[in-house]
Amino acid sequence: MNTIIGQPMDRVDGRLKVTGAATYSAEFNLKDLAYGVTVQSTIAKGRIHSIDSSAAEKLPGVLKIITHENALSLQPVGGSQSPGSGKLGEKDLLPLQGPAVYYDGQHIAIVVADSFETAEHAASLIRVEYEEEKPVFEIEQGIKDAYMPKQGLGGQSVQNTRGDAAAALGQAPVHIEAVYTTPVYHHNPMEPHATVAEWKDDELTIYDATQSVLGSRNAIARMLRLQPENVRLISLYLGGGFGCKGFTWAHSVMAPMAAKIVGRPVKIVLSRQQMFTCNGRRSRTIQQVALGAGNNGKLLAVRHDSTTETSFVDEFVEPAGVATPMLYDAPHLEVVQRLVKLNKGTPCPTRAPGEAVGVFALEAAMDELACRLNMDPVQLRLLNYAAKDPKTGKPWSSKYLDECYKKGAAAIGWHNRKAQPGSLREGEWLVGYGMATATYPANRSPSSARVQLFSNGSAEIACCTQDIGTGTYTILTQITAEGLGLLPERVTCKLGDSLLPKGPNSGGSQTAATAGAAAWAAALTLKSKAIRLAIADKASPLYGLPETAVKAVNGSLYAADTPSKAESYVQLLTRQRLPVLEAEITTQVSTREGQPPPAEPEGEKSEAVKQDEEVNRKQYAFHSFGAQFARVLVDPLLGSVRVTHCASAMDIGTVLNMKTAVNQIMGGMIFGIGMALMEQTIYDPNNGRVVTRDLADYLVPVNADMPEFDVQFINKPDTFISPVGARGIGEIGITGMTAAIINAIYNATGKRIRDLPATPDKLL
């Protein structure tokens, strides 16, 4: 193993993407295609009194204007809140089913026309009269009605206690307490949301930009009262998602609704401005963190009290305190989560939901504690190192965080750091160093995969998961090639089609561990089938050998002790007159609490697959860990900040592809730079409308903002999560990075920024 897995192989879909041959959801231009443009509300609360569409209807080329008065009747989605089960982003707001308005930018009509330009112009001619009510825009306005939710996404607990935190904090020799706030963030993937829908009798085909092919199919089918098997959903490529494409939003069912009404395929593509209103965001947070420690730096108590926002049409919790119970070994702890309902669109998962904002607050507080103790921040974390999960008492499936601290510190030049803020300069610039811990759960869910071996010596891996731009096509190709003993160029990968074997949604950093384990199981099972064919065939040079004595490499089977006894897959299948040999495996393995007991997987299993399923994963706590370090320059006169160097050391189990893995962590680190220094969504306090509604006003890091990046991995397999040993890395890269930068700014200036982003006005 690990001759192909882990190699920095180029993306197998890279050439398709750079040549424009990769077809994204908005690029399926079907015959007789019509175009839908949605009309959005211009008030934040109230009811539609009337909609005047007469001027729009007179335009040549307008096919239909659909409102709540003539829309198809939809049924509630129901079911689980998990994205993989088909989560409608706003469960109490089925699109176009009534006149009520809950937020500015809510979809209230669709214009369908024979061209996009006609539809867009017609939409601008529609006049709406409202019965307006007084809305609630900000957490502070609704704080009196705040409540404590019982659970968050996937049923996770968001209220946690152990010991007596209040008493321990009161008795602690060293005590720090502060409030940290983060603004609303928007995902802003390069590819906007897009859906194309086509009906053929009662069969529906949808091309949708989604992080959950099966989840979106199931949600849309339920809303339209269809059997899931009558809906085919295709999502071959995504131009990013970061969580906003993990739920199903209104436009994804409005497109098939419109297509049914006009009797033609319909395409809806949201504009960049619409991407700020009706398809999720990261909630604003107000977090109060208190730490109590002994004079030696040992944590005695932690309290993390968070208030976040949701909407009036669904409950979404940004679980800011989710990492706090497990990150450090403190005997007394209290994590409290509160929610406030606002007249804004519903929040949704955004890359590392909970951890990204919560780890910022916790790790900034840890830095404040280190300064109070006059202790090196790395040493403070090592002193409070959790050798087992403090929340559950279980041993970690694998943890090398202490090595991450050492690697990251060496990479950033931590020895150059001066403890006294403002004491290090580079010309006129103040120099600062900061660090923080990174963490994210290691998830694995049930999945299926089918591997086929063809008589020409090529193979195909198929799984109904999706590649959201992170490299899933590539790593599944590598895993399958390794498992079968083929060269990667002989393997093709099929994803993104609901007709394929069931796969996971892309959320919770689980795709690699989940689909990868299923692909590995299917490849091993198929290889075992081929070996058994050979050793049972008198015409084979391998006849009569034990199965364990036969190996596979470069498309051939050979005797381990006599390599000259060999034959290729081509020779074997040709002689057997088999055009294809296949194995489809369903693994029910899960690392998530509350999952049902494993069911018997489908298909014939190899011994390696059985061993995977026999691991008692309930005995272990599964998390990935890392250390983030940053070096910054701050202009003392202008308050401007330059991040010059970021170092990241990650413990994520087996690295499946070194090139895409580094790319993933860098992407997360760039997210952290944006959170720390520039990103924020601003609403008009008078009407609740988004002001920063494009990429000219909503600032994100660009090439000129990029520092030197140093990304390293421990690269030790986690054999308890799967035989491949890999944990997901899509989200851990953002956690800790924001705090590392904010802590570096303090080291440079002596000014503690607790209200993100750290814009120049806050440093002057």
Q: Are 428 and 638 in contact (CB under 8 A)?
A: no
Q: What is the pLDDT of residue 596?
A: 46
**Is 136:685 a contact under the CB 8 Å cutoff?**
no
Q: What is the mean pLDDT of residues 373-399?
A: 98
> The tokens 């790319």 sit on which residue?
663
CA distance 597 to 311: 34
* Local structure of residue 110 (DSSP, 8 states): E
Alpha carbon distance 61, 622 (integer Å) = 56
Q: What is the DSSP letter of 230?
A: G
Which residues belong to the active site?
A: 731
Residue ranges per domain, the chain? 374-442+622-764, 446-614
Strand runs labelled E in 589-668: 623-634, 641-651
Look at residue 153 in the predicted model and tell me its pLDDT: 84
> Any idea what the Cα angle at residue 170 is, between residues 169 and 174, rounded to 5°?
65
**Tokens read off for 193:** 């949301």
* C-alpha distances out from residue 30 to 25, 134, 224, 236, 508, Å: 11, 44, 22, 16, 34
Task: Determine the Cα–Cα distance for residues 204 and 498; give it in Å rounded to an integer.
Answer: 12
Task: Say yes or no: do domains 374-442+622-764 and 446-614 share a fold.
Answer: yes
pLDDT of residue 604: 60
pLDDT of residue 602: 46
- Does residue 82 surpass a pLDDT of 70? no
CA–CA–CA angle 123, 126, 129 (5° rounding): 140
Q: If residue 182 lies in a helix (H) or strand (E), which one and from where to where?
A: strand 174-182
| Per-residue pLDDT at 415 | 98
703 phi/psi in degrees, rounded to 5: -55, -40
Predicted confidence band at 588 (pLDDT cuts at 50, 70, 90)?
Answer: confident
Other Cβ atoms less than 10 A from the Cβ of 705: the count is 16
Whole-number pLDDT of residue 606: 66
CA 656 to CA 591: how far, in whole Å? 19
Judge contact between 490 and 523, C-beta under 8 A: no
> Based on the number of CB atoms within 10 Å of its own CB, is 696 exposed (0-12), middle (13-18) or buried (19 or more)?
exposed
- Contact between 302 and 332 under an 8 Å Cβ cutoff? The reply is yes
Per-residue model confidence (pLDDT) at position 245: 97
CATH label, 374-442+622-764, candidates 3.40.50.2300, 3.40.50.1000, 3.40.30.10, 3.30.365.10: 3.30.365.10
Q: Is 631 helix (H, G, I), strand (E, B) or coil?
A: strand
Under 8 Å between Cβ of 298 and 323: no
CATH number 3.30.365.10 given to 446-614: yes
Is residue 664 a contact partner of residue 470, using CB atoms and an 8 Å limit?
A: yes
Q: Is 436 helix (H, G, I), strand (E, B) or coil?
A: strand
Q: What is the pTM of this model?
A: 0.97
Using 50, 70 and 90 to split pLDDT, how confident is the model at 592?
confident
Beta-carbon neighbour count of residue 334 at 10 Å? 23
Query: Which pLDDT value is given to residue 593?
Result: 59
Kindly report, residue by residue over 11-27, the tens digit of the pLDDT: 999 999 999 999 999 99
% helix, strand, coil for the chain, step of 5: 30, 25, 45
Task: From residue 512, give the alpha-carbon distance in Å to each of 141, 156, 177, 527.
Answer: 42, 21, 39, 21
- pLDDT tens-digit profile of 487-514? 999 999 999 999 999 999 999 999 999 9
> Which tokens hold the place of 508?
């919770």
Average pLDDT, the chain: 96
Which tokens is 492 given? Answer: 């093709």
Helix (H, G, I), strand (E, B), or coil: what is residue 120? helix
Write out pLDDT tens, residues 149-170: 989 988 889 999 999 999 999 9
pLDDT at 265 over 90: yes
